[in-house]
Structure 1
Amino acid sequence: MLKGSEVKSLRESKVQLQDAYAVFFQRELWLVGLNISAYSHSGTAFAHDNDRRRKLLAHRHQLENWSSRVDREGLAIIPLALYFKDGRAKISMGLARGKKQHDRRQDIAKRDADLDARKAMSRANRADRLAKYS
């Protein structure tokens, strides 16, 4: 459940979903890692903790289904989208499977290769600019 300053920050799109995930704790679903920045017009008295755990409301049959699939299949519950409907903040959740180790290695290698290519291009562009003015 959200505080008022959190809802106002959501309306200003000051939220990051990238590192967020949901966990079960005492048969309740909690959202962890959702970063909602402080509302720009609120004082320190009404400020909220940016990274606090937030309780999610869901139907019992949804919770039981997700809980069994998380336990049985090793899936994770992640937020997909955050939106407003009839003045209430809603969040779309999805079940996801983590990457395997070889997939992570491939992504890291690709990212490093792209970084090296960008560095080489910037060095070449810099050398061209220096040669032009020499």
Structure 2
Amino acid sequence: MSTLTITRKEAAKAAKPSGPIAENRRARFDYHIEERHEAGMVLAGWEIKAIRAGQVQLTDGYVLIKDGELYLIGCRINALRSASTHVSPEADRTKKLLMHKAEIRRLVGKVEQRGFTLVPLDLHYKGGRVKVEIALAKGKAEHDKRNATKDREWERERGRLMRHKVSSSS
């Protein structure tokens, strides 16, 4: 009979939720999303603790390309009260994103030539590390946003009508 041993690292990975930590639902409303990419993040210890506690907001975030590197700006990570006393936490600190050089070069070309922008969609765990999903996106015009709202409301109303029809016929 063999025994199964689990290391602390494996146990920690298994304990982490696999779904998104935080989502930027506003980005899907404000932008036409063309491509999605995953990037690693350079984070401080207090930021990891705050992310695990759910103290993160992506709504106003965007990605800036500077000197061939990606930076996440406007992503707010609120420090916990139990954060380190020897480090003064900055909630709106600029975070460096990690991607392969070839991917970054391809994104730079699309952003500069075609008028795309890079926006964060969500934060999630992958292999015990925090990753950010960024999207190559184009801004929607005001009438596109109104159409999206109208379509969403119609789908909701249609669902109500179908439920009502099904419940009344039974």
TM-score relative to the length of structure 2: 0.58
Greater length-normalized contact order (CA 8 Å, ≥ 6 residues apart): 2
C-alpha contact (below 8 Å) 2:70/2:96 kept by paired residues: yes
Per the alignment, residue 115 of structure 1 pairs with none
C-alpha contact (below 8 Å) 1:38/1:47 kept by paired residues: no
Deviation of 1:43 (Å): 3.9
Alignment of 1:1-134 (within 5 A): 1-100=42-141, 102-103=143-144
**Runs of 5+ consecutive residues of structure 1 not aligned to the other structure:** 111-134
Deviation of 1:102 (Å): 4.9
Which residue identity is paired with 1:66?
L
| Secondary structure, counterpart of 2:139 in structure 1 | coil
Q: Pick the structure with more helix per residue.
A: 1
| Secondary structure, counterpart of 2:86 in structure 1 | helix
CA distance in structure 1 between the partners assigned to 2:126 and 2:144 by the alignment: 37
| Secondary structure, counterpart of 1:41 in structure 2 | coil
Per the alignment, residue 132 of structure 1 pairs with none
In terms of Rg, which structure is larger?
1
Which residue identity is paired with 2:101?
R
C-alpha contact (below 8 Å) 1:31/1:54 kept by paired residues: yes
Which residue identity is paired with 2:140?
K
CA distance in structure 1 between the partners assigned to 2:130 and 2:101 by the alignment: 20
CA distance in structure 2 between the partners assigned to 1:74 and 1:44 by the alignment: 43
> How many corresponding residue pairs?
107
Q: Pick the structure with more strand per residue.
A: 2
Deviations 1:50-74 (A, max 9, x none): 1111110001111011111101111
After superposing on structure 2, the runs of 4+ consecutive aligned residues of structure 1 that deviate more than 2 Å are: 43-47, 99-104
Deviation of 1:103 (Å): 4.8
TM-score relative to the length of structure 1: 0.72
CA distance in structure 2 between the partners assigned to 1:17 and 1:26 by the alignment: 23
CA distance in structure 1 between the partners assigned to 2:96 and 2:121 by the alignment: 17
